Chains A and B, each alone.
Chain A
Amino acid sequence: MDDIDAMFSDLLGEMDLLTQSLGENTEPPHPSLPSTDKEVNFSIGFTDLNESLNELEDNDLDALMNDLMADLNASEEKLAAEIEGLKPTPKADLPQSAPTAPKGPSPSLPHPTPSLPSPASPESGSSRTVTSPASSATSPLPPPQSSKPSMEEIEAQVKADKIKLALEKLKEAKVKKLVVKVMLNDGSSKTLMVDERQNVREVLENMFEKTHCDCNVNWSLCETNHELQLERLFEDHENMVEPLLAWTRDSENQVLFKEMPEKYEVFKNPQNFYLWKKDRKTLKDMKDKDKEILIKENFCGTSIIVPDLEGVLHLKEDGKKSWKQRLFQLRASGIYYVPKGKTKSSRDLVCFVQFDNVNVYYGQDFKSKYKAPTDFCFVLKHPQIQKESQYIKYLCCDDARTMKLWVTGIRIAKYGAALYENFKASEKKAAVNAMFSNRNSPSSSSQSTPSPTIKAKSPSQANGHAPQPSGGTITQDLGDIPPPPPPPSDHTFSHPPPGSGSSPPPPPPLAAKNSIKLHPKHRQPASRSPASPASLDPLPSPPPPPPTEDSSDAPPDFLPPPPPAANFPPPPPSAANFPPPPPSAANFPPPPPSAACFPPPPPLSSMPLPPPPAALDLPPPPPDPSFLPPPLPPQAFTGAGAPPPPPPPPPTAAPPPLGAGPKLAVRSSGSLKKTPPVPPKRTTPSLQGAGGGGGEGGGDGDFMSELMLAMRKKRGNV
């Protein structure tokens, strides 16, 4: 803790110095930090930041650091040196409980907002406080509207230019950023820096890169409200930061990254919503052509058509724990109910709620919480409301299907065409991803179907896997680890220090960008490093994952080490872990193979940036191999190799996408050729062994051998 604190305050101080030296107006990097706490005085923001940072795990910190690094435009070079110095030291175990990163002050609190007379000096950092030059005029009193009097003077022009410049800087500085911790359904988490301008789609893409999942359209970000037991999936077009700012300071709300099949169900099976009255068989046997027609009718016309839902729902009565039935109707303009003794005629309907100011949430376990008739409840409330209130509307459906109908219907009514646009964008992304994965894996057909690696893992994790990593659960962790994809990304982060110096340029701190840039550097080391790393590849991959995935367990040890020196420590633990995994078995085996695939590609692939997501993943792997003690892993692998056969399909599926990137990369990357050759050789032996072990493992083997072929070709060409 102390170390970290020290490190950060050092860092911040350093930045301060740097920025000051850069001149008053130019301090782009700086704002990003304080800006996490908007609307608060600089000093407050500072402490808050420290506080919140304390709550992060240190690998989160690494990630965060990485993001931050990206913000340092001009100063990065100098800083890089500093950071390198700092990095190794931080190594403390931090309490990692806090689900969310720092947020702005809770909106409800009145902000003092003292207006600083300072004329637009960026120094103030926090956005709101700067009332700008005008403040002098405004604060006086009466003339509220006359804003620009003073500026009209002779020097105004010069001043205006300056101010304009300052304002632009300010605008940039004003951009709010949140550090968001996203929980995966295996209990692990990823930490992201989210820019207030980013929408959910962009953050999702970010998560795809970090988790190497299959990018299918079901992946969603959700927010949970612990106190109200609510969950809501964010729509892809929504702003990501806004809802998070509504959380209270002490909330236990979380952001989840998980698959929600109902997200775009309406576009996959529109008949279930638009023809819900039909019998089940008709719905099931619906022809694709008819589905298309339904979508065209309802989403492609001049206006979006909302499914005509009507039915009896249970409504929780204000302030009471009793539920009463009413006949509700969904219309584009809101939810209505039929008053007692009236007909269903439109003009007699009573408006229950309109959607402008409310979001729809799933209620969880309302049967016990509110004595609801069933657990299929949904809630409508203003997004700002975080606690029990009479302004929250609770509805309960008889079954899951009805609930899905209503929630989806409400989303269509509320978001309209945006939903369909979102779906098309998601589908495109998934298709691109699938294309890559297919190209990659020879045995694609079987592999492609099994969905994301993460998913595969989740079951294993589900077994009492506590979100918080504990040393004892190592074996389980391994199981999780296999999902290798995530780990690599983390690794990239850990490396930032070295890489950061070079990478910083990308000011928009997207983790992705950073990682990409980092790769080149890593590559070189990897390639140069003796064959040993390469040979390790298959095995090594496992070790890295553990640290990244379950950040909690090993993280402390691992993360700090990112630099080369650190490498050693991690391997030992991983090595220790390995033995156990083989037995545990079935689940794990798959991961290793996939892991194996990655390592080789990374070095090669680094060049080909085209498939960004894939490319990102790859880079990390190289470092991993070098870290691990070669000997041990292989053994573990081979042992595990046999069991894997059955599981392989799922794991392999995941790899394909990743591998795709690499593969392509291989072909395209001319310059790197040299490095690749070495690793392949080593990899092949190990793979073959694995292939022999299990029939299905052959798939992996094929993939690898194909890769080999490709590389040989390359070499030949060279």
Chain B
Amino acid sequence: VKLIQSACSCFRMAVWDLSVTVEDLGADAPPVTLSVTSDLHVGGVILKLVQKTREFDWSDHALWWEQKQKWLLRTAWALEKYGIHADARLVFMPQHKPLKLGLPNGKTVQLRASFSSPVFQTVIGICRMLNIRHPEELSLLRPVEEKRKKKDKDITEELYDLTGVPLSSVSRPSMYNGMPAHFVDSAEMEAVYKMLSVTQPPPAPEVVAKQYRPASVVDKAHINGRWLDSSRSLLQQGIQENDRLWLRFKYHAFYDIEPKYDVVRLTQLYEQARWAILLEDIDCTEEEMMLFGALQYHISKVAQSEPQLLASTAAMDDLESALQSLEVKLEGESSSASEMLDNMTAPELNDYLKIFRPKRLTLKGYKLYWVKFQDTSISYFKSKEESFGEPIQQINLKGCEVAPDVNIAANKFLIRLLIPSPEGMNEVYLRCEDEEQYAQWMAACRLASKGKSLADSSYQSEIQSISSFLAMQKTKSGSHGKTPAADESINTHSLVSPRYHKKYKAKQLTPRILDAYQNVSLLTLTDAIMRFLQIWQSLPDFGLAYVVVRFKGSRKDEVLGIAPNKLIRIDLGVGDVVKTWRYNNMKQWNVNWDIKQMAIEFEGNINIAFSCVTAECRIVHEFIGGYIFMSTRNRENSNTLNEELFHKLTGGHEAL
């Protein structure tokens, strides 16, 4: 008021016409014309505008200056201060608009995101709505165009609609049962939450094959050119209502993962990692691929059988969990007597099996014996009748390696044992008659190799997982070329990258995945997901974002790899790491926006400078600053995000 008064008294400002397009009146509606003076503040303009138009909820609306690509968010600023004159084309529109957001799990949600705040804040809002903690690790990028062919069946895409979520609940979400309250409103909303928090079943191999796969480091580098600028708003970056963007974990420095609170975060992180593996976004060895495959299989199986697991553990508050664990304890105590009895009457397996010892130089081949499995040892006898006497041999399986050799079509159910002894490893093959027998004995062998006896509680589940894996192979071989049989079945090709589709047939792949599977088959869902993420994170190339650059003084393109803790310089030709610089030795970095060059100074007078080829300088700049920001997070302030610091470290270019 004071300001206006003083302004009024000083100048008699001329009145001029300002035309404002009101988006909500429709595209064809003519702009509304207002009479204003230059000292009128933006708030005043909005007030006049609202008075001139119909009743409406304008609370989310703001003015956008089209020519300057700029929001007029400071309502106390006078038009003059913004430099707005009669030729300005202003648009009055909601700040939150629907956006189609591709999630790491491949699903698309439609939600209302802020088009006016810096993307950094927009992402915070989105993550709040989706219930993802540590939004600073995520960002938005423009999607890779999908292959043309797909156009015809575009319509089939499923959209999870979150546009109905009131903005108020986003700014201050209340939690109910561990999920934001807005997900409890209706069955549809609950379904959305389930999509967010439960891992997706393995994709069909064709789907994987159809996806865009970067073939080289340069391809991977191109993807990084798509990240949006965190310090500017969506609208400023040309994103329109209902446009499609991807939400991804950008900074691979995952802070403080807590399965109890991070259900959605963990699930989406897992999905992003899984796709990175399947699409060979990150390289791994064949052994690692098999382990990833086994974990995917396990995760999808567990997630299907108990889809509420993650959600329910999250929903449990402290008291509840305490009570529950107490219950378990009591139960355990009361049952300990019967448990001990069970232990005492140590279960055994007794049956006729064919045994073969390849090491022996005999040509005898398989011979039928009465075999007894007790504790962690197998003993075999000539016949059942002689089983009271001394066994021909007793073999302790503790510490041994167990490998399956199964071909259902050929009715071959072989257990290959590699049994350690002081002299080396001894090979022993056990040949079973059928699936059922095989599952029982295989499970026993596996447990024994880990030093567990048949009495172990995991025995039954081990048998089950073996049978289900067998069943999977069965449907596979049975449904050659036909449409997939039971929905239970998973094509092992779904679990590995397309490279292995060519290299191995599904039935060749199954035993290898099964082999890796035995080490993870008893993990809980959360543990399995965590394991997957850990293995992913320990891959040598984990977290590397590539950018093709040209170093000062160099005549060829090279690749800069930006890792969470360092920069690496990679020779494009050989693929070798030429040089490594760590952030903690970094003294300062500068961006010359004019010549699009970045200069970095490290301790010890090391200076490097490069221009960026496949991405803008600001992207490299933001990556580096972002990672430095991530490293400043700590326990004390883990709940508050120092947004200012983030922009300080990553922004700066718009000032120029």
A391 at the interface (CB under 8 A from B): yes
Q: Digitize B539-566: 1 where CB-to-A-CB distance is under 8 Å, 0 elsewhere.
A: 1110000000000000000000000010
Partner pick for B285 among A277, A305, A306, A351, CB 8 A cutoff:
A351
Q: A160-B337, A302-B537 are in contact. Are A141 and B423 (CB under 8 A)?
A: no
**Are A333 and B534 neighbours in the complex by a CB distance under 8 Å?**
no
**Are B348 and A110 neighbours in the complex by a CB distance under 8 Å?**
no
Question: Distance (Å) between the CB of B569 and the closest chain A CB?
Answer: 13
From B530, which residue of chain A is reached at the shortest CB distance?
Answer: A302
**Are A354 and B341 neighbours in the complex by a CB distance under 8 Å?**
no
Question: Distance (Å) between the CB of A289 and the closest chain B CB?
Answer: 8
Residues of B386-400 at the interface with A, using a CB-CB cut-off of 8 Å, are: 387-388, 390-391, 393-396, 399
Question: Distance (Å) between the CB of A265 and the closest chain B CB?
Answer: 20
A145 at the interface (CB under 8 A from B): yes
Compute how far the CA of A316 lies from the CA of B349 in the bound complex, rounded to whole angstroms.
Answer: 42
Q: Digitize A314-352: 1 where CB-to-B-CB distance is under 8 Å, 0 elsewhere.
A: 000000000000000001111010000001111101010
Residues of A125-139 at the interface with B, using a CB-CB cut-off of 8 Å, are: 128, 131-134, 137-139
Question: Distance (Å) between the CB of A305 and the closest chain B CB?
Answer: 6
From A290, which residue of chain B is reached at the shortest CB distance?
Answer: B584
Neighbouring B residues of A132 by C-beta, 8 Å: 344-346
**Are A108 and B337 neighbours in the complex by a CB distance under 8 Å?**
no
Q: A308-B540, A331-B285, A331-B540 are in contact. Are A386 and B347 (CB under 8 A)?
A: no
Question: Distance (Å) between the CB of B456 and the closest chain A CB?
Answer: 14
Question: Distance (Å) between the CB of B234 and the closest chain A CB?
Answer: 31
Q: Digitize B477-516: 1 where CB-to-A-CB distance is under 8 Å, 0 elsewhere.
A: 0000000000000000000000100000000000000000
Compute how far the CA of A350 lies from the CA of B31 in the bound complex, rounded to whole angstroms.
Answer: 69
Question: Distance (Å) between the CB of A326 and the closest chain B CB?
Answer: 15
Q: Digitize A372-404: 1 where CB-to-B-CB distance is under 8 Å, 0 elsewhere.
A: 000000000011111111111000000000000
**Are A347 and B584 neighbours in the complex by a CB distance under 8 Å?**
no
Compute how far the CA of A390 lies from the CA of B427 in the bound complex, rounded to whole angstroms.
Answer: 13
**Are B341 and A302 neighbours in the complex by a CB distance under 8 Å?**
no
From B336, which residue of chain A is reached at the shortest CB distance?
Answer: A164
Q: A110-B391, A138-B348, A141-B350 are in contact. Are A302 and B287 (CB under 8 A)?
A: no
- Chain B interface size band reads 35 or more
Q: A167-B340, A345-B283 are in contact. Are A386 and B422 (CB under 8 A)?
A: yes
Question: Distance (Å) between the CB of B372 and the closest chain A CB?
Answer: 8
Residues of B221-251 at the interface with A, using a CB-CB cut-off of 8 Å, are: none
Neighbouring A residues of B280 by C-beta, 8 Å: 347
Residues of B277-291 at the interface with A, using a CB-CB cut-off of 8 Å, are: 280, 283-289, 291
Q: A163-B340, A357-B399, A385-B423 are in contact. Are A332 and B535 (CB under 8 A)?
A: yes
Partner pick for A160 among B341, B348, B387, B399, CB 8 A cutoff:
B341
Partner pick for B424 among A141, A334, A385, CB 8 A cutoff:
A385
B35 at the interface (CB under 8 A from A): no
**Are A148 and B342 neighbours in the complex by a CB distance under 8 Å?**
yes
From A227, which residue of chain B is reached at the shortest CB distance?
Answer: B422
Compute how far the CA of A107 lies from the CA of B377 in the bound complex, rounded to whole angstroms.
Answer: 11
Neighbouring A residues of B576 by C-beta, 8 Å: 344
Neighbouring A residues of B347 by C-beta, 8 Å: 144-145, 147
B307 at the interface (CB under 8 A from A): no
**Are B425 and A120 neighbours in the complex by a CB distance under 8 Å?**
no
Q: Which of A113, A151, A303, A349 is the most central at the interface, judged by chain B CB atoms within 10 Å of its CB? A: A303
A293 at the interface (CB under 8 A from B): yes
Neighbouring A residues of B533 by C-beta, 8 Å: 302-303
Question: Distance (Å) between the CB of B604 and the closest chain A CB?
Answer: 8
Question: Distance (Å) between the CB of A633 and the closest chain B CB?
Answer: 50
Compute how far the CA of A332 lies from the CA of B288 in the bound complex, rounded to whole angstroms.
Answer: 10
B401 at the interface (CB under 8 A from A): yes
Neighbouring A residues of B338 by C-beta, 8 Å: 160
Q: A111-B394, A139-B388, A345-B575 are in contact. Are A305 and B422 (CB under 8 A)?
A: no
Neighbouring B residues of A347 by C-beta, 8 Å: 280, 283-286, 289, 499
Q: Digitize B308-352: 1 where CB-to-A-CB distance is under 8 Å, 0 elsewhere.
A: 000000000000000000000000000011101111111111100
Neighbouring B residues of A290 by C-beta, 8 Å: 582, 584-585
A356 at the interface (CB under 8 A from B): yes
Q: Digitize B260-303: 1 where CB-to-A-CB distance is under 8 Å, 0 elsewhere.
A: 00000000000000000000100111111101000000000000
**Are A151 and B341 neighbours in the complex by a CB distance under 8 Å?**
yes
**Are A148 and B345 neighbours in the complex by a CB distance under 8 Å?**
yes
Neighbouring A residues of B565 by C-beta, 8 Å: 293, 297
From B284, which residue of chain A is reached at the shortest CB distance?
Answer: A346
Q: Digitize A589-603: 1 where CB-to-B-CB distance is under 8 Å, 0 elsewhere.
A: 000000000000000
Question: Distance (Å) between the CB of A228 and the closest chain B CB?
Answer: 10
B33 at the interface (CB under 8 A from A): no
From A128, which residue of chain B is reached at the shortest CB distance?
Answer: B375
Q: Digitize A278-309: 1 where CB-to-B-CB distance is under 8 Å, 0 elsewhere.
A: 00000000000110010001000111111010
Q: Digitize A604-639: 1 where CB-to-B-CB distance is under 8 Å, 0 elsewhere.
A: 000000000000000000000000000000000000
**Are A167 and B343 neighbours in the complex by a CB distance under 8 Å?**
yes
B645 at the interface (CB under 8 A from A): no
Question: Distance (Å) between the CB of A329 and the closest chain B CB?
Answer: 8
B53 at the interface (CB under 8 A from A): no
Partner pick for B422 among A164, A168, A248, A289, CB 8 A cutoff:
A248
Neighbouring B residues of A389 by C-beta, 8 Å: 423-425
From B395, which residue of chain A is reached at the shortest CB distance?
Answer: A110
**Are B399 and A134 neighbours in the complex by a CB distance under 8 Å?**
no
Q: Digitize B394-432: 1 where CB-to-A-CB distance is under 8 Å, 0 elsewhere.
A: 111001010000000000000000001111110000000
Mostly, the A contact residues are loop
Q: A333-B288, A354-B287 are in contact. Are A384 and B537 (CB under 8 A)?
A: no
Partner pick for B346 among A112, A134, A391, CB 8 A cutoff:
A134
Compute how far the CA of A303 lies from the CA of B534 in the bound complex, rounded to whole angstroms.
Answer: 5
From B540, which residue of chain A is reached at the shortest CB distance?
Answer: A308
**Are B344 and A107 neighbours in the complex by a CB distance under 8 Å?**
no
**Are B350 and A349 neighbours in the complex by a CB distance under 8 Å?**
no
**Are A108 and B421 neighbours in the complex by a CB distance under 8 Å?**
yes
**Are B348 and A141 neighbours in the complex by a CB distance under 8 Å?**
no
Compute how far the CA of A237 lies from the CA of B524 in the bound complex, rounded to whole angstroms.
Answer: 24
A106 at the interface (CB under 8 A from B): yes
**Are A144 and B348 neighbours in the complex by a CB distance under 8 Å?**
yes
**Are B540 and A148 neighbours in the complex by a CB distance under 8 Å?**
no
Neighbouring B residues of A134 by C-beta, 8 Å: 344-346
Neighbouring A residues of B286 by C-beta, 8 Å: 347, 349, 351
Neighbouring A residues of B287 by C-beta, 8 Å: 333-334, 351, 354
Compute how far the CA of A351 lies from the CA of B519 in the bound complex, rounded to whole angstroms.
Answer: 17
A23 at the interface (CB under 8 A from B): no
**Are A346 and B388 neighbours in the complex by a CB distance under 8 Å?**
no
Neighbouring B residues of A138 by C-beta, 8 Å: 345-346, 348
B211 at the interface (CB under 8 A from A): no
**Are B257 and A147 neighbours in the complex by a CB distance under 8 Å?**
no
A246 at the interface (CB under 8 A from B): yes
Neighbouring A residues of B642 by C-beta, 8 Å: none
Residues of B99-124 at the interface with A, using a CB-CB cut-off of 8 Å, are: none
B384 at the interface (CB under 8 A from A): yes
A155 at the interface (CB under 8 A from B): no
Neighbouring A residues of B639 by C-beta, 8 Å: none
**Are A343 and B575 neighbours in the complex by a CB distance under 8 Å?**
yes
Q: Digitize A219-233: 1 where CB-to-B-CB distance is under 8 Å, 0 elsewhere.
A: 000000000000000
Compute how far the CA of A167 lies from the CA of B349 in the bound complex, rounded to whole angstroms.
Answer: 23
**Are A384 and B421 neighbours in the complex by a CB distance under 8 Å?**
yes
Residues of A394-421 at the interface with B, using a CB-CB cut-off of 8 Å, are: none
Instruction: Give the 7 A-B residue pairs with the shortest CB-CB distance, closest first.
Output: A389-B424, A134-B345, A147-B345, A384-B420, A386-B422, A303-B534, A346-B283
A-B contact pairs, 10 of them (CB 8 A): A111-B394, A134-B345, A142-B350, A145-B347, A160-B341, A277-B580, A331-B539, A347-B289, A382-B425, A386-B422
**Chain B residues proximal to chain A, CB less than 8 Å:** 254, 257, 280, 283-289, 291, 336-338, 340-350, 375, 379, 384, 387-388, 390-391, 393-396, 399, 401, 420-425, 499, 519, 530, 533-535, 537-541, 565, 575-576, 580, 582, 584-585
List 6 extra interface pairs beyond A134-B345, A277-B580, A332-B535, CB under 8 A. Answer: A147-B346, A303-B537, A305-B538, A384-B420, A385-B421, A389-B424
